Amino acid sequence: MRKFNAKFIAFVVFIAFVALTGCAKREITNANSKGKNIICFGDSLTFGYGANKGEDYPTALAKIVKKPVINSGIDADTTIEALLRFKSDVLEREPYLVLIEFSGNDFLRKIPIETTTANIRTMIKEAQQAGAMVGIVDISAGMFLQEYREAQKKLAYETGCIFIPGILDGIITNPSMKSDFLHPNAGGYKTIAERIHKAIKPYLGS
């Protein structure tokens, strides 16, 4: 009986550790993706606004993964505008994994959150139909854009995507990691790349 209790306790502790550290590998759609490139699809935070050329997060990510990384970020883009370029900027670039980062400009332009979520859902569907894995990059921080975080987390679980939470945590409140009130500097983008890499690493294969 003692032996059983010890094993049970050890199992519970392990499960708790995995949950707390985020090490659990969840099954996602197209985990066996045959694509070639990691496509970073987003707005100014993907583009690298506020930093010099080559200091954006996709460039930093390319230095720590074994797949080619393409920056398909456009400053000030909303999900409405992004849908218009999704075919040329994502689907026609042999996507292996598509990292979708939007909501900030939708919020600023008062686009309903339901529209934003529906647009991202469309992007996910089209990318998955093309055989790519998809990751949703969450830019909320604390109470800032909290409703978008909840909507996108739910969407990720419904569609079999990787959810990458809080890339701006500790950056948006740290002037030494920002170039203005919102956008990171080179150091901030490097931290974002490291956080994204940590989230996608279990799905990148050998």
**Six-digit token string for 201:** 């690493």
In a domain? residue 168: yes
What are the distances in angstroms from CA 35 to CA 127, 132, 162, 205? Answer: 11, 6, 17, 13
Q: Give percent of the chain with pLDDT exceeding 70.
A: 87
Q: How many domains does the chain have?
A: 1
In a domain, 22, yes or no: no
* Domain containing residue 54: CATH number: 3.40.50.1110
The rounded distance, in Å, linking the Cα atoms of 51 and 183 is 9
Is 171 strand, coil or helix?
A: coil
Count of beta carbons in the 10 Å neighbourhood of residue 78: 21
What tens digit of pLDDT does each residue of 181-191 get?
A: 999 999 999 99
Q: Which residues in the chain show pLDDT less than 70?
A: 1-24, 206
Residue 46 placed within a domain: yes
**What pTM was computed for the model?**
0.89
In a domain, 63, yes or no: yes
pLDDT digits (tens, 9 = 90+) for 123-132: 999 999 999 9
**Mean pLDDT value across the chain:** 91
Establish if 28 belongs to a structural domain: no
d(CA 156, CA 117): 11
Question: The domain containing residue 143 runs over which residues?
Answer: 35-203
Burial class (CB in 10 A: 0-12, 13-18, 19+), 28: buried
Span 102-118, pLDDT tens digits: 999 999 999 999 999 99
Assess if residue 123 is contained within a domain: yes
Domain-embedded: residue 3 = no
